[in-house]
Structure formats: C-alpha cells, structure tokens
Amino acid sequence: MPEHPIQIVDGGFVDIGTGKPFIIRGANYLTRVDLGTSWQDRTLSPAVFDRTTVAADFVALAERGYNTVRVFIDSCNGGRSCIANPGGPGLNPAYLDTIVEFMELAQQNGIFILFTSNDLPDNAGYWEISSRDDAGVFPGYRNTHYMTASGERAAEIYWTDLLTGLVDRRAPFEVVLGWSILNEQWMFKDQYPLTPDAGIVTTKTGTYDTSDPEQKRAMVVDGVRSYIDAVARIIRSHDPNGLVTMGFFAPQFPNATGIGGDWYVDTAPLVESSALDFFDFHAYPGEDIPLVQIAENLGLPADKPVIMGEVGAFIDRFPDIEEAAIRVQRWIADSCTLGFAGWLYWEMLPADLSVGDATWALTVGDNYLLDVLAPGSQPDACTPTLTDPNVALGAAVRASRSLPGEPPENAVDGNPNTQWGAGTDARQWIEINLGQPFEIGSLRLRVAQFPAGRTVHVITVDGIEIARIDSTTAEGQVLDVPLSVPITGQVVRISTTVSPSWVAWSEIEILAP
C-alpha cells in the first residue's frame, strides 16, 4: 500500500514529499436530496453520484488552492441505493464502487478526503448487533452503542466491512487525509446511564457509582475511549499509515453554553489520552459563548494537531453574505491563536433553508465565499483580507440600565446570539463611543424583542438626531438605517421611547460608507 503523503510530524501536518507544513483548507461536501419529509446527504449513493459534477467541483476547489474535502461515508444509510446491502448483511457493493470512484476523482484533482461516519447504517443488522447487550436497561441507540460491548462490536464489524470492501477494490487510500470514526460523538444526557444520580451502573468498561460525579464522568470517558481504541485498531489494520480522528462540538462545561442542547460530550480527558491522531473540533461564529471559552471547554491538545472540521456562517445569524465572510475570516484568524491548524467550511453546496441550520454555501452568490475564503485569495488563513466596515465592533459602550448577564458590550461584540438587555421598559438608551470621529454611512440594528409590536427608536450622533424609526418590530428582525448623506461623528446613541417589551438589542453595527 502506498505511503500517505500527509503525515503528522512534531504535532503538525506535514507533506512528506516537500517537507513543508500542510495547512488543511477546504469544504464539507454534501449533496442533499429531498426525501419528502427531510433532506439527506446522498453524495456517495450510486443513484445520485454524478461524476461530471463532482469532478467540476473538485477542479473549482483545486484551482483556488483548496486541498481537502470532508465527506460523510454513510449519511445515505437506508434504502436500496445507500450504504447497507439491500439484500442482506454487509454493505452495498455498488455503493462501495462509488466511494472508490469518488476517491479516484479526488486524487486526479489533487484533493484529499477526510472521510467521516455519521452512524451505523440503518439496515444490514448492525444496530441489532449493537443492541444485544442493552439488557432491557440501556435505551438503545447512542447510549447503548458507546457503553456496551455489543455496541463496540457492531462498530468493529461495520468498519471491517467498509475497509475490507475498499481494500478489495484497490481504493487509493493515499488520498485519504484521515478517517473520522464519528462526525460528532455525543450521548443523550437525559437517558440511562447518564440519568441516575445514585446507584451502581455496569458498562463494558467496569462498574461506576453514579452518586460520585467523577465516577459518572469517568464512566462515559472510559466507554468512549474504549470505542475509539477498538475502531482505530480496525482502521489501522487495513490502512497502517492512515490517520484517525473523531469529530466533536463543544462540551457544556466548564463554561456554560447551550451548544449541543440535550446532548452530552466530554472531550478534555480524550485529549489527554486516546488513540486519535488528531482532533476535529466544530465551532461556528455566533455561538452563545466566545471562541476562547469554546476552546477551553474542548481542552485543546498541545501535542496533536487540531482542525476545525466544521466552520461556517449560519444564514439566520448573519443574513448578509458579505458580513458572513468577514465574520468567518475573523473567527478562523482568532482560532489560529488557540492552536487550530486547519479549516473545512460547512458547506460547499447550498442547502435548502428548510433544513433549519443552513449556512451561506461557498458557491452561492456567484461563488462569493468560495473566492474570498480561498487560499488563492487569502494565502494565510490566520490573516483576514476583508475589511470590516463595522466601526462599532468592540467599541466603548454604556447604557441607561443593564441586566447582570446582558451588559451593553454584548451589543457590539459581533455575536448575534448575545444581547444587551435593559431589564425594564422604555424609555432606555444605549450609547456607543467610537473613540474618534468616523464617517458613518448606515446602521444595522438586530432586534431583541418579545412580544412583537410597535417600537420607536431615536438615533443621534454627537447629540444630533439623524434618524427616527417608528414601526412594528419582532425578535431577530434586522433594521437597516441608511443615511442619505454620510455623517462624521464619534458618539452614537440609540434611544427607545416606545416598546411592548423590555428594551434590548442583540447587535448594533455602525457602518462606514
């Protein structure tokens, strides 16, 4: 088997052919299909895969300097044209053929692949194997899958079937940057064995007293670490030089966050000790805590590479694509100082807005993001090339009143998921001091208001009224305030005189012409 051209040397990715660092720059590549009740990525389904389209997309990436795509192996996991064998156990031969063809196209165009698994296939008996040890106690699915011996065994069988099938087809493993055991590892925190706060729980790795928080935490870590060890052994037995990773979003501690909702994840102990070669951490601008706190929750390693395998701009957070580009460039640059050394944008092709978490795709707007984020346009991902017209970002700010957890600084932090809240009704004001006079061409105000209703806002610059807004507004609405003639000023005050709710703003942007 040919040697992988990208290896890890002294804690970083290196192109062994040139001896130079290899900086991962690329995209998540999904092809979503409307199934009627939902959308599903079917990039590798032989019924959907289009060689000409994929080749053209790879050319578009390579010509701009991108080098990697992240692809889901098994997101097409149920149906005759998906990964599971439609006629019995094992995997669909036609699907495996398509995976190999995809790999060959990537190799021909100088693109590496980070393959990731989303879950066991729905069919072919893998989940039945996984559930054998639930003993009527474990709830099935993820909590059973990671905490029981049968769940681990199901993963071993699945990965053996997958990699054996690819080896038999002489797949070009040298094009694989890495094998991601899971897209995102998590468990349900409202299901057994995470629900009891007292009593003894026995899992595949031992017996734990759930009244002891440290033992309860160790129970999950031990189970996931064992799962990683088992699957990594299978991968390395088929691809000895291959790199192994796993995807994670941020845990909800030590810094409290709503990331992940009711899903539980704990990464710091795995960073300290696991069979992973590198870590794939996912983080998007506009979360409810800043990137530095996300990194603290993840517990970044000092001795292994870390990539941001998912990063992008959600449309509902950043409704303007140019603002989205600025925020993504800044987010990535900020992550450089924290130790991230690779970024894969979510996602290359546009998703229907009905998916609920659609981002600005690289190819929308005549390839706008594909161009401005490209290594050819931005050679150093750690140095933004776009100028932010928002002169209010990080400016000095004060307000008439503020709730303890909603200070006025939240209105100028660039994060639409935080807000300044006065904690009381109108009349209230917030005042931004730009530090020096700036030419102002417009303002953009993101509403934080419930219930919806009539509001009146008066905007002044250095004490002179420049605009008055009297309209019906609602939570999340963006108010654009263009000025017919730019004005130069330093202190901008927004006074709310009428509102059906407590006065608040999630973000205030003061834009240069």
3-state SS record for 442-487 = EEEEEECCCCCEEEEEEEEECCEEEEEEEEEECCCCEEEEEEEEEE
Backbone angles phi, psi at 408, to 5 degrees: -65, -25
User: What pLDDT does 356 receive?
Assistant: 75
Residues 90, 82 contacting (CB under 8 angstroms): no
Residues 401, 421 contacting (CB under 8 angstroms): no
H or E element that contains 236: helix 213-238
State the Cα angle at 24 between 363 and 70, rounded to 5°: 55
Neighbours of 87 (CB within 10 A): 10
Nearest to 363 by CA among 376, 382, 345: 345
Query: What is the token pair recorded at 126?
Result: 């893998």
Backbone angles phi, psi at 161, to 5 degrees: -60, -45
**Dihedral through CA 353, CA 357, CA 360, CA 364, nearest 10?**
-30
pTM above 0.75, yes or no: yes
Neighbours of 432 (CB within 10 A): 23
DSSP 315: T
Nearest to 499 by CA among 459, 467, 451: 451
d(CA 201, CA 205): 11
User: What pLDDT does 417 receive?
Assistant: 87
User: What pLDDT does 332 receive?
Assistant: 98
| 380, amino acid identity | D
DSSP 120-183: --SSTTHHHHHGGG-TTTS-SHHHHHHHSHHHHHHHHHHHHHHHHHHHHTT--GGGEEEEES-S
User: What pLDDT does 454 receive?
Assistant: 97
Helix axes 364-372, 51-63, angle to 10 degrees: 40
Domains of the chain: 22-372 (3.20.20.80), 396-511 (2.60.120.260)
> Exposure pattern of 149-175 as b/e (b: 16+ CB <10 Å)?
ebbbbbbebbbebbbbbbeeeebbbbb
Q: Note down pLDDT in tens along the chain; length 513 residues.
A: 778 999 999 999 999 999 999 999 999 999 999 888 889 999 999 999 999 999 999 999 999 999 999 999 999 977 889 999 887 889 999 999 999 999 999 999 999 999 999 999 998 999 999 999 987 888 889 999 999 999 999 999 999 999 999 999 999 999 999 999 999 999 999 999 999 999 999 999 999 999 999 999 999 999 999 999 999 999 999 999 999 999 999 999 999 999 999 999 999 999 999 999 999 999 999 999 999 999 999 999 989 999 999 999 999 899 899 999 999 999 999 999 999 999 999 999 999 888 878 999 999 999 999 999 999 999 999 999 999 999 999 999 999 999 999 999 999 999 988 999 999 999 999 999 999 999 999 999 999 999 999 999 999 999 999 999 999 999 999 999 999 999 999 999 999 999 999 999 999 999 999
Q: Measuring CA to CA, how many Å separate 169 from each of 209, 218, 383?
A: 48, 41, 42
d(CA 333, CA 344): 14
d(CA 446, CA 476): 6
Query: What is the token pair recorded at 5?
Result: 């051209």
d(CA 269, CA 104): 37
User: What pLDDT does 490 receive?
Assistant: 98
d(CA 384, CA 374): 11
